[in-house]
Amino acid sequence: MPVARRQLAASIRAAAHIVDREAIASFIADEATEVGLNPFPHTTAGAQGHIWAGHSFDFRASQVEALGLACLLKALDSLAGDEPLTQEIFRSGPYRAYVYHPGDGCQIVGAVVYGRAGMALPALKAMPRRRTLRRAHRAHPQQLDLFAHRQHA
């Protein structure tokens, strides 16, 4: 049973080892992003390590922009080669995303978003987190505004 996009996006946001996690999660959560054809959802860390090492070389040679690739390669390298993984594939226009997890969609091993050669990645907006919004509403009304009393010289 596939994991819901919303769950994957939340899990990616929680994956502190992925530098571009906010942008990747935004791509996954975007309404325009669709689940891609995935003929081989079950894979291993070793197989994906070889595949993405090759993609890394090809991407540099072809000038393909990618988010999360270095983090994915590092994560795959730290796992045993026979470690089972589940691969999730998403697409939106010329862009693709691959997400890897042990099977539950909660603990993300790595994720990559990339486009076509010579094409810039879209501006991926980070979705506001609820905790950030709540903190903004908790401001103390009696807090002193140091700049409100500043005189102009």
pLDDT for position 122: 78
- Residue 11 pLDDT: 96
Domain boundaries, the chain: 5-128
Residue 84, strand partner residues? 44
The whole-angstrom separation of Cα 56 and Cα 17 is 19
Any idea which residue has 């795959």 for tokens? 76
Asked if residue 101 lies in contact with residue 1, where contact means CB atoms within 8 angstroms, the answer is no
Q: What does the alpha-carbon distance between residue 145 and residue 81 come to, in Å, rounded to a whole number?
A: 57
Contacts of 91-98 spanning 24+ positions with Cβ under 8 A = 91/33, 91/34, 91/36, 92/27, 92/30, 92/32, 92/33, 92/34, 93/32, 94/119, 95/27, 95/121, 95/122, 96/36, 97/24, 97/27, 97/28, 97/33
* Structure token digits, residue 110: 């790595």
pLDDT digits (tens, 9 = 90+) for 78-123: 999 999 999 999 999 999 999 999 998 889 999 999 999 988 887 7
Digit-coded pLDDT (tens) for 39-79: 889 999 999 999 999 999 999 999 999 999 999 999 999 99
> What is the pTM assigned to this prediction?
0.79
